[in-house]
Structure 1
């Protein structure tokens, strides 16, 4: 009985730790409408009216 309970607890713990390690498959790029170049997130926050964000898929 103790072995079954221990196995169930170990299985539950391992499944939650695997779920937490899942990484995002996308990222955001910010582009300036004025210059046409890609800018940092900080620069995009400074001038939100002249920048736009594009969501990209990560290459695996």
Structure 2
């Protein structure tokens, strides 16, 4: 009986840990061509002609 219960708990734990969403290895960073500063996604959408986006790698922290 204990083996069946232990197996069920281990199975449930493994399914929930695998179901968690992993972060992507990259993220987008937006920079303004006018000012040279980094801007938010909202600001980049407001002025798409003067901003550019690059994919950056995430640090391993």
Task: Give the TM-score range, shorter chain.
Answer: 0.5 to 0.7
After the TM superposition, list the runs of 4 or more consecutive aligned residues in structure 1 that deviate by more than 6 angstroms: none
**1:36 matched residue in structure 2:** 36
Structure-1-length-normalised TM-score = 0.67
Aligned length: 58
Structure-2-length-normalised TM-score = 0.66
Residues 13-55 of structure 1: CA deviation (Å, up to 9, x unaligned): 6555344332111111100011111111111010001101010
1:57 & 1:38 partners in 2: Cα distance? 16
Alignment of 1:1-60 (within 5 A): 11=11, 16-19=15-18, 20-60=20-60
Consecutive unaligned residues of structure 2, counting only runs of 5 or more, are none
1:14 & 1:28 partners in 2: Cα distance? 33
1:23 & 1:14 partners in 2: Cα distance? 20
